[in-house]
Amino acid sequence: MKNYISYLRPLRFPGFLLFLSCLLIPNLLKAQVDSIGWKANVAKINITPKAPMWMAGFASRTKPSQGVIHPIWSKALVIQDKDKNTAVLITNDLSGMPRDMSTRIKKKIKTRYGLNEDAVLLNFSHSHSGPVLKDYLYHVYPLSDDEIDKVNTYSDWLEDQIVELVGQALKGLIPAKIFTENGLTRFQVNRRNNTEAELGATTTTNGPNDYAVPVLKVTDRKDNIMAVAFGYACHATVLSVTQWSGDYPGFAQVELEKMYPGATAMFFQGAGANQNPLPRRTIPLAQKYGKELAAAVESVLNEDMKPLAAQLKTAYSEIALDLNEPPSNEVLEKMIKESSGHYQRWAVMMHEKVKNNTVELSYPYPIQIWKLGDQLMVALGGEPVVDYAVKLKTQYGNDLFVLGYSNDVMAYIPSRTVLEEGGYEGATSQIAFGHPGTWKPTLETKIFKRINRMMAGF
């Protein structure tokens, strides 16, 4: 202490202030400059079906929707950097979307607004309380021709609404600042390594898990919050009732928009394919988890957040992932005779494909990377298990935002370990998604090889 005092004593008070300002002002100015130069705007549209329809997510449902807990939404956040590079994040209170539908949306956005596919990121909350979409997992549900007509009409309307939504957001760009940080909440439980029925009797749960709550805050120049985009890696399956809702992510968005009037809250789903909110099955629990998630976001917003320089870079790529052959005709014929529900409908569909030689043994898998300032975001298609987030953060740092359920939700994406272990995420879920067989063991290696190659350009 004596050494510090003797060092400071020769400095008169004004000189000491000058000394401090030389240390602090450059950093303060840098923080201010880093967050200036963006333009942004946000828009949203209520996409709640106006008539009863079949709901997506649970094969056990036996009837269409009946009523609404709260509306479901599509929301678009457009950001533009100082060089006019522009991108749009579109979040949706939906279980997922098929490739053909998301491709049509992206093509319309490119034609109408000039945004390439790498600059358009569609993410789905994976709420199991939203509608079935066109040409998507039809065999899972006992859909009549009339019900399919309803699905097609709704889906065509939805496509147009999302494209119009992007146009609305693009029209109103204003100067903005963007900040990021990660929060934390712990209601996700690894469903492969913990038994739901026995959860109340245990004091510990087994992982892996990813408890991070990534938060992106967009403000105007006066620091009024325009948008809060936040994520969590956990299935939106608290509710299995027949009422429309966004499940716990929907309740979290409702809660945040109450806390911050005038702001739009947007939820993006992470790599939560093997993570469940437990316990579950009641509306009060969905509200509780929504409030917990909103509280984690509020905590981040109330702390200092990292300002992002107004520099935007985007990339998009697809890789062919290989699938195993379907079961033999004998096995399929036995399934047709002895099984029921979507297992039987899958067997009939696959038997027909084998007969007509139309079985597809690879799938184009989408990977998207964004960099906002120095904040990296990796968006993966399908339902990736949490192992992907854990490995990506080990490689690229815990600040990385990892999104699953992006652009095309075509299947579960198991790690090699989960694939070898089997179970629903590793094997039988392929039937629900209409694939002929499981993924080949090269799955994880191929995905990381492509991500690493893409990351080299950032």
**pLDDT for the residue 3:** 45
pLDDT bucket at 7, cuts 50 / 70 / 90: very low
Q: Is 361 helix (H, G, I), strand (E, B) or coil?
A: coil
Distance CA 244, CA 246 (A): 7
pLDDT bucket at 285, cuts 50 / 70 / 90: very high
pLDDT bucket at 193, cuts 50 / 70 / 90: confident
- The answer on pLDDT for 283 being more than 70 is yes
Is the model's pTM score more than 0.95?
A: no
- The answer on pLDDT for 19 being more than 80 is no
Let me know: does 95 contact 127? Beta carbons within 8 Å: yes
**pLDDT for the residue 197:** 75
- The answer on pLDDT for 199 being more than 80 is no
pLDDT bucket at 6, cuts 50 / 70 / 90: very low
Distance CA 190, CA 277 (A): 9
**pLDDT for the residue 35:** 58
**pLDDT for the residue 196:** 82
**pLDDT for the residue 34:** 53
**pLDDT for the residue 16:** 45
Give the residue from 215, 229, 297, 241 showing the smallest Cα distance to 267. Answer: 229
Region 122-138 average pLDDT: 95
- pLDDT 10s digits, 216-230: 999 999 999 999 999
Amino acid at 101: M
pLDDT bucket at 61, cuts 50 / 70 / 90: confident
Conformational region of residue 447, where left means phi above 0, alpha means psi within -120 to 50, and beta covers everything else:
alpha
- The answer on pLDDT for 26 being more than 60 is no
CA-based R_g, the chain, Å: 24
Region 360-367 average pLDDT: 97
- pLDDT 10s digits, 296-336: 999 999 999 999 999 999 999 999 999 999 999 999 999 99
**pLDDT for the residue 201:** 65
